[in-house]
Amino acid sequence: MSRRDETLVDLLIETGLSRNIAKTLVFLSKREETTSVEIEKATGLRQPEVSIAMQELRRRR
């Protein structure tokens, strides 16, 4: 992730999101389609962390 992405992650954390959800959301905001493996590689999160973040984002819709 770029410095700009990390800044966005930090801002989202300040609003109350967890770091994993913030990282996932920033990555998803730049993509139309992706896979969990791509999210893992780009964010440095592990598979279970990506799955939990995605479940939470779906729940919050």
Give the tens place of pLDDT for each residue, 1-26: 899 999 999 999 999 999 999 999 99
pTM, to two decimals: 0.91
Report the pLDDT value the prediction gives residue 56, as an integer from 0 to 100: 96
Domain positions in the chain are: 3-60
Distances (CA, A) of 36 to 8, 15, 46, 54: 20, 24, 10, 9
Mean pLDDT of the chain: 96
Report the pLDDT value the prediction gives residue 1, as an integer from 0 to 100: 86
Q: Quick one: pLDDT band at residue 46, thresholds 50, 70, 90?
A: very high
Nearest to 31 by CA among 43, 19, 45: 43
